[in-house]
């Protein structure tokens, strides 16, 4: 049974972060089950959230 290509890809399970559930873009050579944030690839200080209401 043949499916249209886009429909075929829809049947593939989306890759989701095992921690936060964020749907990740398919990456080649990607063996992690966690997104960049949870996987610690991207080091953003979590406390760095500029508050627009903060006026020094
Ligand atoms: Zn995550």
Q: Where are the domains of the chain?
A: 14-42
**Ligand 1 centroid, distance to 23 Cα (angstroms):** 9
More confident residue, 30 or 4: 4
Structure tokens at 53: 């209401």
Cα(40) to ligand 1 centroid in Å equals 9
Give the span between the Cα atoms of 5 and 15, in whole angstroms: 18
Residue in 47, 15, 50, 22 with CA at minimum distance from that of residue 37 = 22
Which token pair is 18?
A: 């095992």
Alpha carbon 50 to its chain centroid, in Å, reads 23
3 state SS for 18-40: CCCCCECCCCCCCCCCCCHHHHC
Query: What is the CA(20)–ligand 1 centre distance, in A?
Result: 4
pLDDT digits (tens, 9 = 90+) for 18-54: 889 888 776 555 566 788 778 776 555 666 667 778 7
């Amino acid at each position: 049974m043949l499916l249209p290509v886009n429909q075929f890809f829809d049947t593939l399970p989306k890759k989701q972060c095992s921690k936060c559930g964020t749907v990740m873009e398919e990456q080649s050579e990607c063996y992690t089950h966690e997104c960049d944030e949870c996987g610690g690839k991207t080091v953003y200080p979590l406390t760095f959230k500029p508050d627009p209401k903060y006026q020094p």
